[in-house]
Amino acid sequence: METTLPDGRPVPPPQADERAMLEAWLDFHRETLVLKCADLDDHQLRTPSAAPSSMTLLGLVQHMAEVERNWFQRVFAGTDIAPVYGTWDGDGFALRSDRGWEQVLTDWRTQIARGQELVRDVPLDACARTEGQEFSLRWILIHLIEEYARHNGHADLLRERIDGVTGA
């Protein structure tokens, strides 16, 4: 079986242990979001979906940088760390004219790398406690897969509206 699709995304293995499977699906969805942004200019990446929504592809990647940072560094590792883009106001979607694709992509990849480093040798059953709740690493990985899958659906619609590209 091929390990990558023609577009370069990693193919999750059809058989693997639980950890490898979860990490592969998370990586697949991460790269799907990048694929949705590929070959677009700054204006296109900042184009909102449809009124009244202000959601953009660039905003989605910023949001996922915040999500990665929040769940792996703040919640799981218990680090008192500032958000990537300002305050913990819940999303990271707000755009700034001085922050373009290359910066956002670098920020996002940095958050992913730091999260992977923090959980590399941690068992899936290990838990973090925040705001009176415990979350296992397993739960966090599944939640991130769900979060990316949901936002990749948004990204599909945004991309189709921008230039008609559909699929994957």
- Please spell the DSSP secondary structure of 120-154, one letter per residue: TT--TT-EEEETTEEEEHHHHHHHHHHHHHHHHHH
Q: Is the pTM of this model over 0.85?
A: yes
pLDDT classification of 53: cutoffs 50, 70, 90: confident
Q: What is the mean predicted confidence (pLDDT) over 139-154? A: 97
Q: Which fold has domain 18-163?
A: Four Helix Bundle (Hemerythrin (Met), subunit A) (1.20.120)
Does the pLDDT of residue 31 top 90, yes or no? yes
pLDDT classification of 1: cutoffs 50, 70, 90: low
Quick one: which of 39, 104, 34, 26 has its CA closest to 65?
104
**Higher pLDDT pick, 25 / 53:** 25
pLDDT for 2 equals 66
Cα(41)–Cα(154) distance, integer angstroms: 18
Cα(63)–Cα(93) distance, integer angstroms: 5
pLDDT classification of 46: cutoffs 50, 70, 90: very high
Q: What is the mean predicted confidence (pLDDT) over 102-127? A: 97
pLDDT for 86 equals 77
pLDDT for 90 equals 56
Q: Where are the domains of the chain?
A: 18-163
Percent of the chain at pLDDT exceeding 70 = 96
As a whole number, the mean pLDDT across the chain is: 92
Contact present, 66 and 92 (Cβ < 8 Å): yes
Give SS3 for 10.
Answer: strand
pLDDT classification of 8: cutoffs 50, 70, 90: confident
**Higher pLDDT pick, 37 / 10:** 37
